[in-house]
Structures are given as C-alpha cells and as structure tokens.
Structure 1
Amino acid sequence: MDDSSLIDRFVDSLWLEAGLSENTQAAYRTDLRKLSKWLQQHNRCLRVVGRDELLAYLAEKMKKGSKSSSSARLLTTMRRFYRYLLREQIIDEDPTLKIEHPKVQRLLPSALSESEVDSLLNEPDKELEIEHRDAVMLEVLYASGLRVSELVGLRLEQLNLRQGVLRILGKGGKERLVPLGEAALEAIEGYLTAVRPLLVSDLQNPTVFPSMRGREMTRQTFWHRIKLYAQRSGIRKNITPHTLRHAFATHLVNHGADLRVVQLLLGHSDLSTTQIYTHVAKARLQRLHSQHHPRG
C-alpha cells in the first residue's frame, strides 16, 4: 500500500472514531503528505522509516524556522498515525516511541479586564439593527464562553429560553448544555422579538444571528466586527476570535469558580487545557501584589 492510501485510511479513521472536524483532518493530511514527500527524497516511505529519520525531519523543520509548538503538533500527528499503523498491523514497531516531545512555552491568553469587557459590550449602537445584533452576540459570547464558530453557527432549535440554556454541539460532536445569565437571556429575547425579524426574509431560516444577507455569518466577519468595537471603545489589546471566551474563563476563575465547572462550560475534553486559566489568575494576583503591596 502506498503512502497516499495509508494517509487516506488514517484520516478516514479519524473521522469515524473521533469525529474530528474537516479542518483538523486537513491538517493531519497536510502534515503527513509533507513527511511522505521528504521521506521519498531520502529513499524511504511512511511504512519503512525509523526513529532517526523522523528526528532528522523534525530537526530540519526546526532549522528552517519551525516553532517548537509547530514541531510538537507535528510529532502528535506522527504519533497518532504510527499508533494507527501499529494497531492495524501494518507495521511491527512504532518509530515515534522514544522521541521526546519538544518543550513548548505555554503563552497565557491575553484576557480583557472586566471594565474593558463592559466597554466592549456597551459600544454597539442598538438603534442600528446590525449593531444591535452584534451587541447581543457579544453579550452571549461573554456570558457563555462559546467558541466563535459555535456562536455564528447557532440555530434556533439550540435555544431553550425557558430553562435559560444553549445546547451546543462542540468539537468531536460532543454535546454540552451551557447556561446563560439573566443579562444575556434578556438580550436574546428582546433581539428575537424586535430585531431578528428585520434581518431575515425567510421565516424558515434557522440561523439565530444572520449576516446582512440573511445567511450564516463567517467567523472572520464576526472577528472584524469585534475588532471594530474594540477600536471604537479605545481598547488597544490584540483582539482574537477567542478574546471573550478567554475573558469568560479568566473572570470565572478569578471569582472562585471550580476549574472542572469551567472545563465543562468551555467544552474542553482535557482538564489540562483548562488549567492555563489558573496561571492567568495567579499572574493577575502577582501583578496586583507588586502594584499595591509596600514591599511588592
């Protein structure tokens, strides 16, 4: 079986067993195709390769400027691929077994302060239909910690306003219930009654927050909308699609929320992913101590 067929079989297994998104599948496929091409130049193939060749490939990538985080992701791809080949009895030994993971400096997410969030949420002009929609989206994003893709893809059937929760289908097809605060719930109810009917011509349209054309908004469009309001409100921090998600988690931890509860709300499969917010909280406390303590 050639490399291309092996890669296709592996990626198909990712979809069947883990329900990974198309973007994630594409990333695995791209990584393995590049590795296959490099191996062919060195008279090897994916099935016939040893630890030394894989280390040489990783070293060459690093030499060309690849970051340690990219190398770590690439090694994760290779490990998952070779474990699959081992399980399917296509190879007898996993060549990644004794390759150590590169140390990655974990950068703390840049979170907005509570006053900055207030400024951002109050910036849209609710007299304008589009900005009213944006104001509600920002409110929901901060209240729920949704991923931006989950927010723009939100459907009417996912809302349970009576119970005040959202039913979210997250990464890997995992479903979770996310509660909404009173402010966000009130904002959605008012928007659905007075504003959304003006944005959709088709009453069968299930999208909660349609674009100006009445379709599902893209992540990039909403990101640009957030950056616009940040600029107008005088926020100078770098705004990313996850800015309000980070703020949601950071502010919960700062106010004493249990980390496992935050994990469930964010839809993280691994608690270690959520633990970065404890570092954010510690960093904030250290900053406050140095600013206000007489011997800080």
Structure 2
Amino acid sequence: MPPRRRPQQSAPSSVEHHLHPSQFVDAFLSYLQAECGMSLNTVKAYKNDIEQFVTWMNNSHVGSVLDVDLNALSQFLQALHERNLKPTTISRRLVAIKMFFRYLVLEGVVAESTVDLMSSPKLWQYLPTVLSPEMVDRLLDAPSWEDSFPKRDRAILTVLYATGCRASEVAGMQLRDLRLEENYCRCLGKGNKERIVNLNPVARKALDDYLHKERPQLIRRRDADDLFVTRTGRGVTRIMIWHVVKKYAKRIGCSDKISPHTLRHSFATHMLAGGAEIRALQEMLGHASIRTTQIYTQVEHSRLKSIHTKCHPRG
C-alpha cells in the first residue's frame, strides 16, 4: 500500500518552520539554468517573479511552503489584480510559481503542488500590438544618411521583421551563422535551442549592403564574430536593438509602445494572413507550445472583424 501523502494544509510542525521559500530560491534558479536549459534573461525573470511572491508571503505571514494552499494563492492573485497588472504579467507570475512548486515536489520538499490546481488568468483580452505592412515598410526605410550607422540599423530592422526573431536572438547572431547566398541564418533561441530562420529579399539586400559597406569600418580595430556590431566592433546587445527600434518608430510617428517584439508580432500576424499554417509558424517563432502561437490567430480574427465592421454596409 503506497504511503499517504502529507497534506499541505496541516498545522505547521517544528520542521515546517524551516521550509520558508527563500531558502530554495537559489537552488531553483540553478535548476532552471542547468537542467531546464533556460536562458539567463528567462532565469532573471523567474527570479524576479519568485522574489515578489516570497515578499508577499512574508507580508501575509505565510511562513512555510506547506502553508501555500488555494486560499493563499487566490489572495496573492487578488493582490496582483489590485495593482492593475496586465493579464500576461499575472500569468507569467503564476507560471513561475508553478515551476517553483514543481521543483519542490521533485526535491521532496512538498508531496504535491497545490499551485497546479490554479488556472491562469484569461489571456484572450490581451492582443499584441501589430503594425500594418505599410507601416512596417516605413519603419524599414526610416534609417537615412543622417544616422551614424544607417545600413546596420536597416539590416537589424529587416532581419527582425523577416525572421520574427527576438531582439536577444538577433543580438546573438554570429557571422558564421549567416548563409546569405542560401537566404537563411541560424539563431539560438530560448533554452539554447537552435533553429533556422529564413531571410526575404529585402533583408538579404540590407544585410549585403551592411556587410560590404559598413561593417568593415566598424571592425577595423578588432576581429569580431558577431553579425551586428557597435562603433567599437563589439557585438550589439538586445538593449541596443531596443533603442534602434524605438528611435525609428518615433521618427515615423509610431506609438511609444513599439518595440522589437512588435516586429515579431507583426511578422507572425502577417504570416497567418498570408496563409501560413499555425504549426509552421510555431517552428518559425521557436515557440515550445502551440498555445503561445495561437494568440496570433486571435489577432488576425480581431483584424478581420475590424475590417468587416468598417466595410460592411450594415457594419
């Protein structure tokens, strides 16, 4: 007969007083990076989410991981809602907590994870910002001779839109990963998963101009393996790419909410509108779950609904 599971809602014993979540955080973060293969940026995000949960537990006098039941979790989610956080932010916090408690189950700290009984907040209310194809064209054409490195900046913008890559993935691209004559490039995504991303003619021409007319000047003082480099020959960072997108979005009068991820969203939505299959799009974006990709079907449905309302004579 299997041993009885230890209930999480039992009165805390002297041993349970030592099961404060803070003592497991560092080991959990090491587990995410070493065994789950998560990137440093993802681990940092998990760290922030878990630390905020631990702070809430301290303020709410929940002293042990064994005391985290559905009632406590509901109170935590209510506290997040009261801060007017986005549904996606709340969902991410809940995912981090779920991963944390699954780790505690694996380590034998708790017998079962109550957190898995919680449902994530509905995400259908959140639709990512998407640029129209015409606005994307304006953004890609925004770099000019007045800018310090217009060819590099245009190449970055065209690669973001042509591939749907994240800013961190574009920043991490190496020169050896590029196969310009074959119209593709390798990139390293989340969890150190490598995938092939295709380049369209616009991106290929922009890259060719940058590689032959601008990059040689930027690397004259040092050897560089990075595809995109700064004025000193060092590889660009995802923050630099973020600033590049912000700069040119402002120039063409776009919302200040535009970011590198907006081009990723636009790529996915435009691909669906062009007839791409959802599974193929999942592979292009490097999504681990098809559920993440399916949000773009809602974006496309929202777009079509808007067109119907605007154009139908009885709309």
Q: Which residue of 2 aligns with 1:125?
A: 144
Residue by residue over 1:82-111, the C-alpha shift from the partner in whole angstroms, topping out at 9 and shown as x without a partner, is 222222222223232433333344421221
Structure 1 length-normalised TM:
0.89
RMSD, aligned CA: 2.4
Give, in angstroms, the shift of residue 237 of structure 1.
Answer: 6.7
Q: Which residue of 1 aligns with 2:98?
A: 79
| Contact 1:144 1:265 survives alignment (8 Å) | yes
Cα distance in 1 for residues equivalent to 2:210 and 2:89: 42
Cα distance in 1 for residues equivalent to 2:203 and 2:116: 49
Matches within 5 A, 1:222-261: 222-236=241-255, 238-261=257-280
1:100 match: secondary structure: coil
Q: Which residue of 2 aligns with 1:14?
A: 32
In the alignment, residue 236 of structure 2 is paired with which amino acid? M
Give, in angstroms, the shift of residue 171 of structure 1.
Answer: 0.4
Q: Which residue of 1 aligns with 2:49?
A: 31
Cα distance in 2 for residues equivalent to 1:151 and 1:203: 21
Cα distance in 2 for residues equivalent to 1:150 and 1:132: 19
Q: Which residue of 2 aligns with 1:210?
A: 229
2:46 match: secondary structure: helix
Residue by residue over 1:250-279, the C-alpha shift from the partner in whole angstroms, topping out at 9 and shown as x without a partner, is 111111111111111111111111112222
Cα distance in 1 for residues equivalent to 2:82 and 2:191: 34
Give, in angstroms, the shift of residue 118 of structure 1.
Answer: 1.4
Q: Compared with structure 1, are the counterparts of its residues 204 and 143 closer, same or farther at alpha carbon in structure 2 (3 Å cutoff)?
A: same
Give, in angstroms, the shift of residue 159 of structure 1.
Answer: 0.7
| Contact 1:36 1:46 survives alignment (8 Å) | no
Match of 2:183 among 137, 159, 164: 164
Residue by residue over 1:203-233, the C-alpha shift from the partner in whole angstroms, topping out at 9 and shown as x without a partner, is 5211211122322223233222223223333
In the alignment, residue 271 of structure 1 is paired with which amino acid? I
Cα distance in 1 for residues equivalent to 2:293 and 2:136: 21
Q: Compared with structure 1, are the counterparts of its residues 275 and 99 closer, same or farther at alpha carbon in structure 2 (3 Å cutoff)?
A: closer
Cα distance in 2 for residues equivalent to 1:119 and 1:27: 33
Q: Which residue of 2 aligns with 1:276?
A: 295
2:195 match: secondary structure: strand
| Contact 1:18 1:172 survives alignment (8 Å) | yes
Q: Which residue of 2 aligns with 1:201?
A: 220
Q: Which residue of 2 aligns with 1:155?
A: 174
| Contact 2:172 2:188 survives alignment (8 Å) | no
Give, in angstroms, the shift of residue 166 of structure 1.
Answer: 0.6
Structure 2 length-normalised TM:
0.84
Q: Compared with structure 1, are the counterparts of its residues 127 and 70 closer, same or farther at alpha carbon in structure 2 (3 Å cutoff)?
A: closer
Cα distance in 2 for residues equivalent to 1:85 and 1:215: 41
In the alignment, residue 141 of structure 2 is paired with which amino acid? N
In the alignment, residue 46 of structure 2 is paired with which amino acid? Y
Q: Which residue of 1 aligns with 2:282?
A: 263
How many residues align? The count is: 296
Q: Compared with structure 1, are the counterparts of its residues 58 and 233 closer, same or farther at alpha carbon in structure 2 (3 Å cutoff)?
A: closer
Cα distance in 2 for residues equivalent to 1:49 and 1:290: 47
**Unmatched runs of 5 consecutive residues or more in structure 1:** none
Cα distance in 2 for residues equivalent to 1:223 and 1:58: 31
